[in-house]
Structure 1
Amino acid sequence: MDQVVARQSLPDTPRIFGFFVDGKRMEAGERAYFERRSPGHDVPVTRIPKCTREDLDLAVKAARRAFEDGRWSRIPAVERADVLLRAAQILRSRAGELAYWETLENGKPISQARAEVDGCAGMFEYAAGLARTLHGDAFNNLGDGMFGLVTREPIGVVGLITPWNFPFLILCERVPYILAAGCTIVAKPSEVTSATTLMLAEILSEAGLPDGCYNVVTGSGSVIGQAMTEHLDIDMVSFTGSTAVGRRCVEAAGGNFKKLGLELGGKNPQIVFADADLEDAADGVAFGIGFNTGQCCVSGSRLIVERSVASEFEKLVAAKLAKVRIGDPLDPATQIGAITTTAQNRTILDYIAKGREEGARLVCGGGALDFGRGQYIAPTLFADVTGAMAIAREEIFGPVLAVMPFDSEAEAIAMANDTVYGLAASVWTKNIDKALNVTRRVRAGRFWVNTTLAGGPELPLGGFKQSGWGREAGSYGIEEYTQIKSVHIEIGKREPWVR
């Protein structure tokens, strides 16, 4: 029976994983394990090897060998597309299993995890089409003696570092595009949510991906992640995580001037005008801060609302948050699950305390919820927030929403842009002129009008300012993993230089 229909039981013993290099599962052997406890249930669910720099070297060599001999990079694009389509089919057939392990390690609701896996299959299907449409340009305007070509070539070996908040979704917003471009991969998942990244290795092998094209090395960011960004035989690193760690990636990548793709932090505004459908907007704002327990780089954590409706709207949002179903992530009815890590749980609670200390008015939530086991925090709404407060400026990465009023459209835009980040933004209004003006003037890589956190494989992801470099997904997502070559072809006999 489907896991979203019936509640699953917890595993009796933790599932033991190896790591994955050159098409083979590698056992941990004498390596230490990281034992992951479910944040929603406080029981051990997985054991993951703590790999070494030598393991990373082995994986990079396998990926380099696979890239250079052309087993993937030089085959016809239709053959790459066929592998990606088969992978999508297998993903759909194993969606329940993937969602189950994602929920156990991450703490997100099983219904959300299942929807994410379905979306991931769509990413593979879309990238399969892109593999066949990737192309360059021709220049037939250089005169009778010259013809020009611009070609796109795969960049090479890609190091992929993914976070714990969307372990499988963020992985699949990148992997199929990297493979579609003809590159090979060494992936490093978060040590607390490695299961589904390793399961994807099995799926890709079953789909026919050649050995060495997708490798997984597990371990800490400080060891494996740092070594990956420094590695001289990795041509590009794609990193998703905090802006602080992204800055360290920039510094480490200088060794071989490797290309970087960075999706970093956000402090994203939701701008609500008085002429919006306030009921719809309140529901969207509640979803924007509650989805994935607010552990989402594009969550709408700043509510910028027109003063004339601020009091009314505050009550509407509080009423929505009060009705959200919080609890066991394995319960199909749950909408908000557990906080993923103990450190993040502590960080969120510290920010809630800081909001009170700085004088913000607590409207609802404001603390931990006790369900007997696991770690949960009630969605928290602060009003009377000023732009100088920490809860208005710093990325909390939890279900904490700061409300700030505005009086004019220009003020709303200025408040939205008053941040070092520029990852995402939403605007709620029934005035199309106003919506378009705000969309054009707020500096953010993703924008939603009368909705939030919507999307699909067709539209690219990425940020402005300190929210990152580059774009993932969409046609831009495959181009991100290519490099451009200009080719000049002389026609006919050469005009001699030496006579």
Structure 2
Amino acid sequence: MQGRHYINGEWSTDGDGVIDVMNPATGERVGTVPNGGEEEATKAIEAAAEAFPDWSKTTAYHRAELMMKWHDLLLKNKQEVAEIMTKEMGKPLAEAIGEIEYSAAFISWFAEEGKRVYGRSIPASKEDKRIQINKQPVGVVVSITPWNFPAAMMARKMAPALAAGCTFVAKPAKLTPLTAVRIYELAEEAGFPKGVINLVTGSASKIGKVFTSHPSVRKLTFTGSTEIGKELMKQSSETMLNLSLELGGHAPIIVLDDANIEEAVKGVMASKFRNAGQTCVCGNRIYVQEGIVEEFSQKLQEATSQLKVGNGLDEGVQIGPLVDKDGYDKVAKHVQDAVDKGAKVLVGGDGSAENDSYFYNPTVLLNANSDMLVMNEETFGPVAPIMSFQTDEEAVNLANDTRFGLAAYFFTESMSRGTYLAENLDYGIVGWNDGLPSAAQAPFGGMKESGIGREGGKEGLEAFLETKYISIQL
């Protein structure tokens, strides 16, 4: 597949050569995209700026109509788009199809939510004054999306921006740009006007610098690592750019001794091993109360040993490859460090990195401790380390002992204990007996160094709106 830029309603392959897109399951080339840079990014922003006045004045109903056409086309072609995703990043096909459906949910949610952008009137302090509050689109929005959810993260940013009346420029991850290209082809088919949506592939550093410095840009929305988020924040300071940053995580899972152990294992499996552990909200460290560690560990070991590893296009595969060698090496390093510091491998603990394909077997580690890398850094792989604790307060303290605060999970059948955990965990997303809490209608985002702002829900639309106060002297 040959990917292209989409700028001002036209497709092009301009740039400094091409970038090869590789299949991490086979090491084969899937396709190419143009290696764009400053020139292409500038053209896309200028097209979006030119289209903004007309697009921002269209009715929410007209915008919703176009968005629902896009939504329907995406679902109609979900098998094809999912196969592209699986080939370029390795996600099992069933998961990829689920991601396309999740992406479509954001489009339909915000298509409707855009009709509910309300202002308000405020009682004035004088009889001859009136106070009005209006909402208006923030302007040209630029986005940088990650490789691990190439469809969902695009839709979660693009849909609310369009619904709010903003124009949009996207830069997908270089590892997974082809999914974005196909999504844009379907959006073009839906009938969005020229310049309203734009796509640029290529150099992250060159395109990013234009995104954070161009005077026409009013908002940057980014999902990725905390380190890159901090750099973008520094670059954006010169123009006081409006930012939404969804950054790294280091999610704890707490299993209390009154939990339904079978359900807790199911929840941990869903959270930990989705996308081979390559999600920012997946459980990265598991804290289990002392009295149930043996039983829980045995059941988790049994469930993990049943997972099928392989090419995501093969029937029944549940764990695909890691996306690249750097990701594989980090997982292997974390496991080896844990073993060296006393962890016991219950299942897995090894992998294969041959012929540019990178598979790591789902792994459960017992006797983890706070000195291990896996308990202090985001692993981004299929590794489940288990550490015991004694009291609920200790579990909360262990869970909060990190600079991240994106997602946390716990399992308990007690309302009082669960309420204590829910209220004291310093995380933007908390799953109570739920390993998969994400939903289009709910706000997604983190505390501390896990980001700024929320995506999804009504909060996700507010992120693309400005509040204007109008004081009227009669």
Interval of TM-score (by shorter of Structure 1 and Structure 2): over 0.9
CA contact under 8 A between 1:237 and 1:258: conserved in structure 2? yes
Q: Residue deviations 1:341-366, cap 9 Å, x none?
A: 22211222122222223332222211
Of 285, 292, 316, the match for 2:299: 316
Contact 1:111/1:332 (CA < 8 Å) preserved in 2?
Answer: no
Equivalent residue in structure 1 for 2:9, among 17, 23, 37: 23
Q: How does 1:116-265 map to 2 (within 5 A)?
A: 116-265=99-248
Deviations 1:10-68 (A, max 9, x none): xxxxx11111100111124x63111112111221111011002111111110011111x
Query: Among residues 19, 34, 40, which one is paired with 2:19 in the alignment?
Result: 34
Match of 2:34 in 1: 49
TM-score (norm: length of structure 2) = 0.97
- Paired residues for 1:72-83 under 5 Å: 72-83=55-66
* Residues 37, 203 of structure 2: 8 Å contact kept: no
Candidates 326, 329, 334, aligned match of 2:309: 326
Give the 3-state SS of the residue equivalent to 1:394 in structure 2: coil
2:437: which partner in 1?
A: 454
**1:311-364 CA distances to partner (integer Å, 9 max, x unpaired)?**
211111111110112112002411111111222112221222222233322222
Alpha-carbon distance, 1:372 to partner: 8.2
Aligned to 1:394: 377
Q: Quick check: 1:286 aligned with 2:269? A: yes
> Residue 299 in 1 paired to residue 269 in 2?
no
How far apart are the structure 2 equivalents of 1:227 and 1:387?
Answer: 41
Q: Is the 8 A contact 2:321 2:358 kept in 1?
A: yes
Partner amino acid, structure 2, of 1:23: G
In 2, Cα distance between equivalents of 1:177 and 1:220: 26
Q: Check whether the contact 1:383–1:402 (CA below 8 A) recurs between aligned residues.
A: yes
Provide, for residues 112-159 of structure 1, a one-character-per-residue CA deviation record: whole Å limited to 9, x for no partner.
000111121111111011110011221134331111111111111111
RMSD: 1.5
Which residue of 2 is the match for residue 487 of structure 1? 470
- 3-state SS in 2 of match to 1:71: helix
Q: Does 1:277 align with 2:260?
A: yes
Is the contact made by 1:41 and 1:373 (CA closer than 8 Å) also made in structure 2?
yes
- 1:174 partner amino acid: K
Question: 2:349 & 2:206 partners in 1: Cα distance?
Answer: 36
CA distance in 1: counterparts of 2:33 and 2:347, whole angstroms: 38
> What CA distance in whole angstroms lies between the structure 1 residues aligned with 2:2 and 2:180?
14
Measure the CA separation in 1 of the matches of 2:383 and 2:344. 13
Looking at structure 1, the residues matched to 356 and 295 of structure 2 have their Cα atoms a distance apart, in angstroms, of: 36
The alpha-carbon deviation at position 235 of structure 1 amounts to 1.1
1:371–1:258 CA distance, 2 compared to 1 (3 A)? closer
Over residues 191-250 of structure 1, what are the superposed CA-to-partner deviations in whole Å (9 max), with x where a residue is unaligned?
Answer: 110012112222222212111111111013222224323333311111111111111011
1:373 shift after superposition? 7.5
Distance 1:189 1:371 in 2: 27
3-state SS of paired residue (1:346)? helix
Letter in 1 for 2:120: D
Matched, 1:465 2:445: no
Residue 371 (structure 1) shift: 9.1
TM-aligned CA deviation for residue 479 of structure 1: 0.3
C-alpha distance in 2, partners of 1:199/1:343?
27
CA distance, structure 1, for counterparts of residue 468 and residue 154 of structure 2: 28
- Of the three residues 381, 384, 391, the one matched with 1:408 is 391
Contact map agreement 1:327 1:371 (CA 8 A) in 2: no
Offset, 1:286? 2.0
Whether the aligned pair in 1 keeps the contact of 2:408 and 2:430 (CA below 8 Å) is: yes
Deviations 1:242-271 (A, max 9, x none): 111111011110110101110111110111
2:230 aligns to what SS in structure 1?
helix
Q: Which moved more, 1:386-395 or 1:357-366?
A: 357-366
For the 8 Å contact 1:186–1:216, the answer to whether it is kept is yes
Q: Which residue of 1 aligns with 2:424?
A: 441
Structure 1 unmatched runs, 5+: 1-14, 492-499
Cross-structure match for 1:64: 49
Runs of 4+ in 1 over 6 A off after TM superposition: 370-373
**TM-score of the aligned structures, taking structure 1 as reference length:** 0.92
- The CA distance in 1 between the partners of 2:173 and 2:133, in whole Å, is 38
Q: 1:291 offset after TM fit, Å?
A: 0.5
Letter in 2 for 1:47: T
